[in-house]
A = this chain, B = another copy of it.
Amino acid sequence: MTLDGLPHHGGGAEELARLLARALLAGRWQPGDAFPRELDLCAHFAVSRNQVRNALASLTATGLIERTAGRGTVVRAVVDWHLLDPLMSEWMVGLADPDPQLVREIFAFRYSAEPVVARLATEAAEAADLERLEAAFQGMTRTAGEPEARGLHAEYDVAFHDAIYLASHNLVWRQMGHLLRPSIIALIQSSQAHVHQEHESLDDSLARHGRVLEAIRRRDPAAAEHAAREVLRRTAIDLGIVDAPAESTH
């Protein structure tokens, strides 16, 4: 419950918030646990109480902690976290050891949502949206298989899926593009672990992405929905969420 082992930081309330948030996301405290007091944080990080209070305000706003006058600060349960807050997504990316349960939940959401969004995109996409999809797909193609461009490839991957959400032209759906980055970053970290069938997997994934693009361009709702689901099915395999390609396509 102490704050031993937390790294120091350069400066600024934002970075302090990020640091504490990542410790929380990594499971450093359990739900219901007492969080360090303001003055202890001030002392440990050598910052003013202002900075600490600002940082804690961010954690409160994202549902990570709950503060009450007189009682103190306690850590909230995972179900109370505001997973759709952009700040939260920012804090999740590059997390060394993300909670596999959380990764699975986010993926399950995407698996159910993205086919619908792809369908919407066939109806709402305009020229600019198609260009964005096209550019992202070509970026993916260009960087595929180059080991040193792994990060860049992931960025194009994020851009591709984000472009689908944007193409839906719905204010609510497009908010959820934030979830993509942590989800996809987790994917490449996971696939870095098991280096099995690297080439097959990538080619297959690329082809499936291409079919989504094509379906949206043809404005074929059923095909887009199906293709998006196929992309995510491939991703599920690579993430190790489903261990075998034993499932049929329908």
- With both beta carbons as reference points, the residue of chain B lying nearest to A105 in the complex is identified as B171
Decide if A83 touches B116 in the complex (CB within 8 Å). no
Chain B residues with Cβ under 8 A from A109's Cβ?
Answer: 170-173
Chain copies in the assembly? 2
- Provide the main secondary structure of the chain A interface: helix
22 inter-chain pairs at a CB distance below 8 angstroms, sorted by A residue, are A61-B87, A79-B174, A83-B172, A84-B85, A84-B172, A84-B175, A84-B176, A85-B85, A102-B171, A105-B171, A106-B171, A106-B172, A108-B170, A108-B172, A109-B171, A109-B172, A109-B173, A112-B116, A112-B170, A113-B113, A113-B116, A116-B116
A171 & B82 in contact (Cβ 8 Å cutoff): no
Give Cα A242 to B181, complex, Å: 36
Interface size class, chain A: 20 to 34
Q: Is the CB of B83 within 8 A of A85?
A: no
Please tell me if A6 contacts chain B, counting CB pairs below 8 Å: no
**A61 contact set on B, CB distance < 8 A:** 58, 61, 87
**Which residues, 147 to 197 on A, are CB-close (under 8 Å) to B?**
170-176, 179
- A76-107 residues at the B interface, CB under 8 angstroms: 78-79, 81-87, 102, 105-106
